[in-house]
Amino acid sequence: MALEKIARNIPASLWSEASEKLVEVILNSPNASRMPSDLAKTILYYWQRDQLATEVGLHRLLEASMILEPEKTVSLMEELGLTEIVTMLKETSRQ
């Protein structure tokens, strides 16, 4: 399933918390050098405009987080109680 669709399933009440936590995972990842430059620039674009805690922002953060830290991303979604998202992410990883 596309990450865009998965991001749309994150409830708005959790956008801010999910965004904060995903950013933390991305910035502290030892695999940060795997970040595609285009994706990094898109995230910077949304960050500058305070749009990381939105559907489009979360889509890009999820994408980056899944590239850099797929297991941590799934755990983070579990911590947030987003079981449906966890299932979707696991399915995406298998594809």
Partner 1 sequence: MKDVSNMIEFGIEFVPRDLYWKTTFYAIQAEKIGFDYLWITDHFNNRNVYVSLAIISAYTERIKIGLGVTNPYLVHPVVTAQVVATLNEIAPDRMVCGLGVGDRTTLQMVNVKQTKPLATIRESVRIIRDISSGKSLEMNGEIFTLLGARLNFKIVNPVPVFVGAQGPKMLALAAEIGDGVLINASHSKDVENAMKFVYEGMERSGKKPDDLNISVYTSFSIASDYDKAFKAVVPVVAYIVAGSPEMILERHGISCEIADKIRDAIVHGQWKEAFSCVDNAMAEAFSICGTPETCVEKIDRLVKAGVNQIVAGSPIGPNMRESINMIATQVFPQFKK
Could you give the residue ranges of the DSSP H alpha helices within the chain?
A: 3-8, 15-27, 37-48, 55-68, 70-79, 83-94
Q: Which one, of 94, 89, 90, lies nearest residue 4 by Cα?
A: 89
- Total binding residues for partner 1 by CB under 8 A? 15
**CB of 29: closest distance to partner 1 in angstroms?**
10
67 lies in the site for partner 1, by CB under 8 A: no
27 lies in the site for partner 1, by CB under 8 A: yes
Q: Which residues bind partner 1 (CB under 8 A)?
A: 23-24, 27-28, 32-33, 35, 37, 40-41, 43-45, 47-48
